[in-house]
Structure 1
């Protein structure tokens, strides 16, 4: 080759990618028909399959000569960049291409169409976001007619649009004006309802008190009789202890207990 031509060719020529070894794996030849249709790709641009040893996609090398056999490219079992990678025993394994490309492609398309048919075509619409209420709408239940009028007057003094002549009002001004008119129109009826509710609540409390008194009056006699009987029993038990030999201090304590029980019997008997 002339020297001038060598100086012009400064880049390497593109070469066919092939495995530069005659090594063959000790494993049995792998028939492509024994794999599932989605575990191999027979298109000429990306001829590959899933290695049964490490379950990774590995290219299939087919030499240009007719005497050479197809086999898997040597590869590692770990992902790229792993320290101390190990070679997969499935490298250089012979591959038997016993599947028709057209038939394989037809089966793959049928499987994809069947899967698409099982998918739902229902459209999931986004939920509608509720519009946030205005400040005047939030404060409306808490205001009366006077408070609504003060709020409207304060807004007119600070709003540049509402200050203009000709009764021009902004959106908030219109809302406050309507709120004041509504409160002024409905305030008497609202006060009447609130007054009625207060009266009903008061009557309910009074009714509960009367009901409690009636219930207590129906059982007061039996309760009083049971209290008197219980005090009589305690007084008799105390009087039985009086005849035994007691010290001066024990006798004094016993007399005070008898006096207290007698006073209680007298109070319950009234």
Structure 2
């Protein structure tokens, strides 16, 4: 009795079957041909094969069956992103047939080549335009060129020679500008004098520091340089004396009176230089 029951349990146990498209519903729209779509509108990766639904413009997975009778088609989907409350189903785009007439291996190679080319492409350098500085006022431009005394003299000379301007009442356009310039330079004169004084003091301190640095550097090399100068003058003086007192070789032309006098004068000058170098140190 136990054997038939055991055999029946083995026969009635559910077995794993291949997944295939069970829905017979097909969209009335014509099939979607993948080769007619833009490369950016489909993905043939077997792990995530999908395309953009032409009806609702959303990415939709493609259901591909393993049987020969079944045809690839879009899965039922909604028109809103995932997580939207009360979404509307895409009635025309759902269950729409898809014709995959693109070689997956060729498409994968082209995708890898495009990624490599994009990765190796150097990014364009962004050259930012410098921000334009605000244009200074006329008084700021002219005020830096003349001092308060010059501006006052220009204003007084204009008022004296102008037929329209008077010291108290009316002013022409040039007179008003010169009056503003005189007032501006008189108001900023103390600040300008203080700034000029600070700049002069800073220049004096910098010059004094440079002189001090030069003296310190010269003190380190003064003795070797002086000894080198002395040795050079002694070598020149020795060579000149040898030329003056050298015996006349057979066949050589002796020094003339003028040449000997000139050589003696040169020796005297070099001896004076050697004496100066000795007393200077």
TM-score in terms of structure 1 length: 0.40
TM-score in terms of structure 2 length: 0.39
